[in-house]
A and B are shown apart, each in its own frame.
Chain A
């Protein structure tokens, strides 16, 4: 792990997001879109692949939340409800609390999105489209259970849409109302130093750890899908 002391002057920007977290974020955006489009168009083989990739990335993100860089770790952005409420209250009062990574409310959204996407990917393993396609584990359970999984799979998507809407609206709120662009740092990895608490030290986990973790989680998902396909 490397320590990157924040130099606030004269450097205008500070590195806050590591590459794996940024790639994860935009990959998830792309895969959710591909998953929706493929299901809508009945391209179920693509849907299986995008869903499996989503599952692998979600497992990666959970692992990265433990061994990743400072701002990617759960302990950095998971806060008790009281702190989240305090943050929201401060925001409503016109204050602008600084956070290098996810703010307490954003952290809650991250966890909610990961949880809902995980539920979506897992129910998809047991779902079927009633025609020519079944999830890898659809034949491992009764038809009734598979139908229930399919129903839940469809219902969760609506919840996911709602969460995405909340996420986008919140990001827009920071951009247009608070003047804090959260999108650009998710591309560049850097925030203006004025948007980061002074004197903060962020640690960045080396890239090969992320690669190893990704290989591991992808392997787990490939194995899971293959197990399902055996029956």
Chain B
């Protein structure tokens, strides 16, 4: 046999082998066909039901093992193309045919089954999430369709900001000594707004009539950080008006059942952050409170009602 004839035979056999591999390994087949331009890569619209509802589920539950980092069974579920391409064992989605869709079969198996996905130890999909995938496949597994009838409403995910303890500590540092000293003087009265905040809450109502103007004045070193203050039932008077007006970060102020009057209410006018004030049982009159209401403040318990 001549070298040329032999190489021809090798080329033919290799081509047959590649063809066979393309049949036996669908992802390989799709990749080759797409490479030579015989097939276009399927894409999904960004506003499609797939992109909005299905892809996030696959990304969060499946793409760890079937994504860019790792492709178990040569399956990628981090893209519409990868999903429709299937695994080395064949298609995992059969549009319109739930029972023939390997992906749905796997995610609906009991956790005790070796073939269940995600595998044991990983968070399984919820019933609603499985329903979303089931309905999408039943509706034709489209990358364009925007609405799938009967799909459960999406669960709104609330992401809380990451707490950086060092940053919080740094924010609290300038007043930390004063806070500690005043917490010691007024037990239970002063507390931080939250674990992630340097802002302060004042619960002076706990001390009742024992908390007066002198005590409120003692809080002045903290004035820039006080965002919430409850002086209800304390002995404060209009003598504290200027001290209250100095608390420029105040958002909520409770003055119920104190001896404050219109003088204090008027003094609060510069507090731009103030959103809510409680004045039941005080000497504040509607004429003074009206100005706060005009600013959009929530005013509870007008003074005229007493």
Contact string against B for A residues 160-172, beta-carbon threshold 8 Å, 1 for contact and 0 otherwise: 0000010001001
Contact string against A for B residues 112-156, beta-carbon threshold 8 Å, 1 for contact and 0 otherwise: 001000010000000000000000000000000000000000000
Contact string against B for A residues 107-142, beta-carbon threshold 8 Å, 1 for contact and 0 otherwise: 000000000000000000000011110000000000
Q: A172-B6, A173-B6 are in contact. Are A130 and B72 (CB under 8 A)?
A: yes
Contacts of B6 in A (CB 8 A): 172-173, 176-177
Which of B9, B69, B71 is most buried by chain A, counting CB atoms within 10 A of its CB? B69
Q: Across the interface, do A165 and B14 meet the contact criterion of CB distance under 8 Å?
A: yes
Q: Across the interface, do A173 and B3 meet the contact criterion of CB distance under 8 Å?
A: yes
Q: A91 — nearest CB in chain B belongs to which residue?
A: B3
CA distance A9 to B238 in the complex (A): 128
Q: Across the interface, do A132 and B2 meet the contact criterion of CB distance under 8 Å?
A: no
CA distance A130 to B120 in the complex (A): 11
Which of B1, B72, B119 is most buried by chain A, counting CB atoms within 10 A of its CB? B1
Contacts of A173 in B (CB 8 A): 3, 6
Q: Across the interface, do B119 and A132 meet the contact criterion of CB distance under 8 Å?
A: yes
Indicate whether B65 reaches chain A with its CB closer than 8 angstroms.
Answer: yes
Contacts of B114 in A (CB 8 A): 132
Q: Across the interface, do A176 and B1 meet the contact criterion of CB distance under 8 Å?
A: yes
Contacts of A62 in B (CB 8 A): none
Contact of B69 among A40, A147, A176 (CB under 8 A): A147
Q: How many positions in chain A have a CB within 8 Å of any CB in the partner chain?
A: 15
Q: How many positions in chain B have a CB within 8 Å of any CB in the partner chain?
A: 16
Q: A165-B14, A169-B10, A173-B6 are in contact. Are A130 and B1 (CB under 8 A)?
A: no
Q: Across the interface, do A172 and B72 meet the contact criterion of CB distance under 8 Å?
A: no
Indicate whether A150 reaches chain B with its CB closer than 8 angstroms.
Answer: yes
Q: B114 — nearest CB in chain A belongs to which residue?
A: A132
Contacts of A154 in B (CB 8 A): 71
Indicate whether A201 reaches chain B with its CB closer than 8 angstroms.
Answer: no
Contacts of B14 in A (CB 8 A): 165
Indicate whether B52 reaches chain A with its CB closer than 8 angstroms.
Answer: no
Q: How far is the CB of B123 from chain A (nearest CB, A)?
A: 15
Q: Across the interface, do A129 and B72 meet the contact criterion of CB distance under 8 Å?
A: yes
Indicate whether A227 reaches chain B with its CB closer than 8 angstroms.
Answer: no
B1-54 CB contacts (< 8 Å) to partner A: 1-3, 6, 9-10, 14
Q: How far is the CB of A151 from chain B (nearest CB, A)?
A: 7
Q: A177-B1, A177-B3 are in contact. Are A130 and B70 (CB under 8 A)?
A: yes
CA distance A130 to B88 in the complex (A): 16
Contact string against A for B residues 69-86, beta-carbon threshold 8 Å, 1 for contact and 0 otherwise: 111100000000000000
A→B interface (CB under 8 Å) = 40, 129-132, 147, 150-151, 154, 165, 169, 172-173, 176-177
B→A interface (CB under 8 Å) = 1-3, 6, 9-10, 14, 64-65, 69-72, 88, 114, 119
The 3 closest A-B pairs by CB, nearest first: A130-B65, A176-B1, A130-B72
Query: What are 20 A-B interface contacts by the 8 Å CB criterion?
Result: A40-B88, A129-B72, A130-B64, A130-B65, A130-B70, A130-B72, A131-B72, A132-B119, A151-B70, A154-B71, A169-B10, A172-B6, A173-B3, A173-B6, A176-B1, A176-B6, A176-B9, A177-B2, A177-B3, A177-B6
